[in-house]
Structure 1
Amino acid sequence: MPADISFSVPAKSPGYSPEIDTVELRETKDTLKAVPNEELSTDISVDPVSSTGKPKLPEMNLDKGIVGWDSQEDPSMPLNFSQNRKWALLAQITAITFVSPLSSTIFAPGATFMDKDFHNSNSLLSSFTVSVYILGYVLGPLFIAPASECWGRRPVLSATNWWYVIWQAGCAVAPNIGCLIAFRFLAGLGGAGCMTLNGGIIADLFVPEERGAANALSAIGVIFGPVIGPIFGAFIGQRAGWRWIFWVLCCLSGVITIVIQIFNKESYAPVIIARKTAKLSKELGLETKPEKFQREFTRPLRMLFLSPVIALFCTYMSLVYGLLYLLLTTLPMVYTETYHWSTELTGLASLGIGIGFFVGLVVIGLTSDKIIVKLTNWNGGIYEPEMRLPYMTLFAILIPISFFWYGWAADKAVHWIVPIIALSPFGFGMLGIFFPIQMYLIDAFPVHSASAMAALTVSRSLVGALLPMAGPQLYSSLGLGWGNSLLGFVALLMVPMPYYLWKYGGTIRKRHVIQL
């Protein structure tokens, strides 16, 4: 038996999406080590000749040095999990993905009570206690996504969830505002885990024509969490005190994390195959050389800065996400100062956005996969990720319309229901942008979808954390009418981008292939 063996992934075959599902054993000189496949590392985009059906995956063949699946019906293959198991796993992720973004805004109404306890009169510092949580979303994904692609989704998700639970408890007992800011940031690092991995898990479990419905379920938490947060936070802070906001988050996330810990199952195919290979190597009496992780841990940033398509999508999503958090953090101020609402009621002002989200979720969830199937059939059975984008332009137009309407309605202090209704198009439009962008990244980069989602999460979270801090000064200088109109004009400038990426995104993606 040869003493030295190395591993590599075979080149993809026609009709096969670039999932790393096998490991080829071949002789080398000295050690057992991992050798990345050159073709795969050069091009990880979806094979343009592949359809939306389940790909034929390489099977175990030790005579040819292939470590793969036992058969196409191998039950350990994530795509072969039963529908009940797939949707149960996704429901668990959706639950924790609801709590994590909920944490980003739930403290906004409670910050007023915290200021009184800590004798804080600095409004900027008070705002920072809310937005610093999102800064955790900026740093966390840079490590979380590559770690999941090295060690698997399950251990990384569990670790980040428990980290989140611990620091929510820390926030509840924070002795001063400095500790609260530090603990909120640390909680954000853990909360970024589910936000980063949910797209990758969808790519692991579902083929493209099923991912629209799966993403619709996953989006419930991501989208509705920040909207419902101020409502919960206002009532809890008013009735039980601001510290109980964090105790509620700690208990809720703790229960969900225990359920995930018990029932979650590894879904990342390359890690499953790598474990099978490691087991075989151990049985053969071979020793492996530790993996070098530099390439993996720089992948999200390389995708963000070296892929023009990802950079454009991240820029657009960052703007929309920043506008969302600016609205959610300034709505309490607008409704207390303009309409003289109590702290408890101000959280309800975000319901307009929530209604828009709900309508958008229903419409897109019911139509997304059907549109993909039709476009694929019209394209001779060939699926392209850009097929996710055609209707984005229509949704993009709703963003500036909503800001113009909301801004001037609030500026003129018309009936309180009008600004709330005016924000519904924003919620509808944002979902119509968020949904196809996320699905595009999952479909275009299936192997490294977690890293692609990390790039998106990092960029949008950075803007989402910083832009709201400019909101009070913006409205103070320009007023609600012209302040929101300025934001509307910025959003209007971005409207052509979805159409441009729909028409030319495929060409750009294939021309600018990045080394991953």
Structure 2
Amino acid sequence: MAFGILEDRYLEHVPGTALLSDLGIVHGQQVKIDEAGSLKRGTGRHAHVILIPQPSNDPKDPLNWSTWKKEACFWSLAFAASLDGALSPMVGPGYVLLSKQFGVSVDDVASSFGSILLGLACFMLLQNCLAVKFGHRIVYLGSVTLMFISCIWCAVSPSMASIRASRVFQGFGMSALQSLVASTIEQIFFVHERGSRSVIWSFSIMSGITLGPLLYSYVVQNLSWQMGFWFVSIPLGLSVSSIFFFVPETTYIREAPAKAQASDDSSIPSEKRSINKVATVSEEGIARDEYQDPSYRSQLRIWNGTFSNASLFRIFLRPFPFLLSPVTWFIFLVHGMQTVWLSLLPICSSTIFTIEYNFNASQIGLTNLGGIVGIVIAICVSGPLTDWGTVWLAKRNKGIYEPEFRIFFISTMLFGVFGYAGWAVGTAHNMPWIGAVACITMANFSMVVSGAAAVTYLLDTHGPDALHVLALSNFSKNIVLYAFTFFANGMIEDRGVRVSLLILAALQAFCWLASFPMYIYGKRVRSFIVRHPGLFIVGADTPPKS
């Protein structure tokens, strides 16, 4: 039992559990790692870390890309993700002002501009199957281009009906950057590199969620609500260019590693038959120079063919069996629903700060500075912590890495509980506005750290199938959040700010409690998944013939 994680009763080697460190001595105990002698390792300060997954010898393998190429790809997507995060909540500070301009209720304005969530949810599953079939590059390009066009459409919309329709199409474009990036991280980075990348991706989305309303509040207060969409279309145009030039296709069909000899399995009892993820390096006899380096121009192709022989319909059905995986429900609770509670703050900020402090739109927008502070603190703390912490725990577990080590960092959800509850208590004691901003800081800190840990845990447990789980989680999350836009502001006006925030605190605490059973039984869950592959497969994902 590693730090309270229950061992599996069926498999000796559970996929996900891996030899992460090949240091000869771990806390005074000699560790035998002769079987790791032929495996590839990192470089520099990570020279002792065995690379998981093991890269091929093909230069087209994204794991073999140069550092600058990986960084250009990742940061182009991170920039687009920040714009993606800004689009949904940026109108929030102006809801009360816009309700007066259009002569409708605040909930009517919120549900009209919130229709972006409906488009986001509906297209979440479709873009998933498009990425599996045709690769990530074409989906990224199409998504960001659609965001760019629909922003211009929204800016010239003459009515609430046109606004609602344009926001639905904005949601279509946003979907890829909220789920596919996790898969791209899994495709181009090794296990010991993914934690910090997941944090940066979460930071990009969260910074957009907080900075978008801040900047838009001044525009809607001093210019017009349409000008905000004209302004955001400028960086979206730049994002289309950066993705075209710096995000090549990341989908790569890697040959299966050689299987262990049958004699090795014969010594293991049938009930303890192992499924060993650490195998000999594939393509061992093929020299790297026998492969042809792709030219930069060839990587600018928008169309790269198909990567699966399965039909789009069968691929579309593929995520739904993952509803049987406990990991899916865990991710939905600790990542998806936590995002819902935090996203309700910008949606309802106009009502909350108008009732409590009589703020105008620009003043409401400034309260988002608390979110920026929380996000910056979170990325400084959790960026190295999630990667270094797991390596540190692996060393103290005789060099063995367990994906459940990531769940330690999900305990930061308690900062969100304290933030919502503290804000609720403060409203009953005439707390100044700076106290409310500090509580927003805590909620954002909680989301970035725990959210990144949850996504990284998902990547470690489900690997290439992580995008299916994220698609289900994000679909459900956005449907729930869209439903809240119809009554959330009205509920605050009826029940009061204090009661509403206490409800958020209780819901956040309930979601956090899901981390306990997942940590304890996570290894057995991974064993169950690998022992019942038929439950999670709708059609074989065979690569197309070349």
Alignment of 1:234 onto 2:214: no
1:254 Cα offset (Å): 1.2
Counterpart for residue 373 of structure 2? 355
Counterpart for residue 70 of structure 2? 86
Q: Indicate the SS of the match to 1:269.
A: coil
Q: In the alignment, residue 87 of structure 1 is paired with which amino acid?
A: E
Counterpart for residue 97 of structure 1? 81
8 A Cα contact 2:116 2:170, kept in partner: yes
Counterpart for residue 304 of structure 2? none
Q: In the alignment, residue 502 of structure 1 is paired with which amino acid?
A: Y
Task: Provide the C-alpha distance between the structure 2 equivalents of 1:272 and 1:470, rounded to a whole number of angstroms.
Answer: 52
Task: Provide the C-alpha distance between the structure 2 equivalents of 1:226 and 1:382, rounded to a whole number of angstroms.
Answer: 38
1:46 Cα offset (Å): 4.2
Q: In the alignment, residue 318 of structure 2 is paired with which amino acid?
A: R
Distance change (3 Å), C-alpha of 1:243 and 1:292: same
8 A Cα contact 2:113 2:163, kept in partner: no
1:390 Cα offset (Å): 1.4
8 A Cα contact 1:318 1:464, kept in partner: no
Q: Indicate the SS of the match to 2:423.
A: helix
Q: In the alignment, residue 65 of structure 2 is paired with which amino acid?
A: F
Alignment: residue pair count = 443
Alignment of 1:207 onto 2:194: no
Task: Provide the C-alpha distance between the structure 2 equivalents of 1:319 and 1:443, rounded to a whole number of angstroms.
Answer: 21
8 A Cα contact 1:142 1:301, kept in partner: no
Q: Indicate the SS of the match to 2:388.
A: helix
Counterpart for residue 465 of structure 2? 448
Task: Provide the C-alpha distance between the structure 2 equivalents of 1:474 and 1:444, rounded to a whole number of angstroms.
Answer: 39
8 A Cα contact 1:131 1:465, kept in partner: yes
Task: Provide the C-alpha distance between the structure 1 equivalents of 2:477 and 2:470, rounded to a whole number of angstroms.
Answer: 11
2:142 equivalent among 159, 170, 173: 159
**1:280-319 equivalence runs, <5 A:** 291-303=310-322, 305-319=323-337
**What is the root-mean-square deviation in Å for CA atoms of aligned residues?**
2.6
Counterpart for residue 481 of structure 1? 498
Task: Deviation per CA, 1:146-201: give whole Å up to 9, x if none.
Answer: 21121111111111111111111111111210111011011111111122211011
Distance change (3 Å), C-alpha of 1:439 and 1:320: same
**1:110-121 equivalence runs, <5 A:** 110-112=94-96, 114-115=98-99, 119-121=102-104
Task: Deviation per CA, 1:194-231: give whole Å up to 9, x if none.
Answer: 22211011001101001112222222211111111210
**1:51-66 equivalence runs, <5 A:** 51=20
Q: Indicate the SS of the match to 1:76.
A: coil
Counterpart for residue 536 of structure 2? 515
Q: In the alignment, residue 408 of structure 1 is paired with which amino acid?
A: V
Counterpart for residue 405 of structure 2? 387
Distance change (3 Å), C-alpha of 1:468 and 1:405: farther
8 A Cα contact 1:131 1:466, kept in partner: no
Task: Deviation per CA, 1:358-387: give whole Å up to 9, x if none.
Answer: 211211102110011122223333333212
2:395 equivalent among 377, 402, 419: 377
Distance change (3 Å), C-alpha of 1:289 and 1:412: closer
1:354 Cα offset (Å): 2.5
Task: Provide the C-alpha distance between the structure 1 equivalents of 2:21 and 2:327, rounded to a whole number of angstroms.
Answer: 22
1:111 Cα offset (Å): 4.0
Alignment of 1:403 onto 2:437: no
Q: In the alignment, residue 327 of structure 1 is paired with which amino acid?
A: L
Counterpart for residue 360 of structure 2? 342
Distance change (3 Å), C-alpha of 1:356 and 1:187: same
1:255 Cα offset (Å): 1.3
Q: Share of identical aligned residues, percent?
A: 20
Of structures 1 and 2, the one with the larger relative CO (CA 8 A, separation 6+) is 2
8 A Cα contact 2:97 2:361, kept in partner: no
Distance change (3 Å), C-alpha of 1:205 and 1:52: farther
Task: Deviation per CA, 1:113-168: give whole Å up to 9, x if none.
Answer: 54455x33133221112321122221122011221121111111111111111111
Q: Indicate the SS of the match to 1:174.
A: coil
8 A Cα contact 1:356 1:427, kept in partner: yes
Distance change (3 Å), C-alpha of 1:52 and 1:114: farther
1:271 Cα offset (Å): 9.0
Counterpart for residue 228 of structure 2? 245
Q: In the alignment, residue 125 of structure 1 is paired with which amino acid?
A: D
8 A Cα contact 1:165 1:250, kept in partner: yes
8 A Cα contact 2:108 2:486, kept in partner: no
* Gaps in structure 1 of 5+ consecutive residues: 1-44, 58-70, 277-287
8 A Cα contact 1:52 1:209, kept in partner: no
1:138 equivalent among 113, 118, 121: 121
**1:3-18 equivalence runs, <5 A:** none
Q: In the alignment, residue 339 of structure 1 is paired with which amino acid?
A: Y
8 A Cα contact 1:392 1:499, kept in partner: no
8 A Cα contact 2:124 2:475, kept in partner: yes
Task: Provide the C-alpha distance between the structure 2 equivalents of 1:76 and 1:121, rounded to a whole number of angstroms.
Answer: 55
Q: In the alignment, residue 456 of structure 1 is paired with which amino acid?
A: S
Q: In the alignment, residue 337 of structure 2 is paired with which amino acid?
A: L
Task: Provide the C-alpha distance between the structure 1 equivalents of 2:394 and 2:361, rounded to a whole number of angstroms.
Answer: 50
Q: Indicate the SS of the match to 1:175.
A: coil
Task: Deviation per CA, 1:391-443: give whole Å up to 9, x if none.
Answer: 322x1222221111112323443221111112222122222321111111112
Alignment of 1:432 onto 2:452: no
Alignment of 1:269 onto 2:252: yes
1:266 Cα offset (Å): 0.9
Q: Indicate the SS of the match to 1:391.
A: helix
Counterpart for residue 4 of structure 1? none
Task: Provide the C-alpha distance between the structure 1 equivalents of 2:525 and 2:111, rounded to a whole number of angstroms.
Answer: 38
Q: Indicate the SS of the match to 1:465.
A: helix
Task: Provide the C-alpha distance between the structure 2 equivalents of 1:322 and 1:391, rounded to a whole number of angstroms.
Answer: 20
TM-score by length of 2: 0.76
Q: Indicate the SS of the match to 1:447.
A: helix
Task: Provide the C-alpha distance between the structure 1 equivalents of 2:105 and 2:247, rounded to a whole number of angstroms.
Answer: 44
Task: Provide the C-alpha distance between the structure 2 equivalents of 1:272 and 1:337, rounded to a whole number of angstroms.
Answer: 61
Distance change (3 Å), C-alpha of 1:124 and 1:475: closer
Distance change (3 Å), C-alpha of 1:330 and 1:115: closer
Task: Provide the C-alpha distance between the structure 2 equivalents of 1:224 and 1:161, rounded to a whole number of angstroms.
Answer: 18
Task: Provide the C-alpha distance between the structure 2 equivalents of 1:102 and 1:504, rounded to a whole number of angstroms.
Answer: 37
Distance change (3 Å), C-alpha of 1:290 and 1:356: closer
1:463 Cα offset (Å): 2.4
TM-score by length of 1: 0.80
Task: Deviation per CA, 1:288-314: give whole Å up to 9, x if none.
Answer: 9964233321222332x2212211221
* Gaps in structure 2 of 5+ consecutive residues: 1-13, 23-35, 41-54, 257-291, 293-306, 538-546
1:490 equivalent among 507, 521, 527: 507
Task: Provide the C-alpha distance between the structure 2 equivalents of 1:478 and 1:116, rounded to a whole number of angstroms.
Answer: 22
Task: Provide the C-alpha distance between the structure 2 equivalents of 1:469 and 1:409, rounded to a whole number of angstroms.
Answer: 27
1:240 Cα offset (Å): 2.4
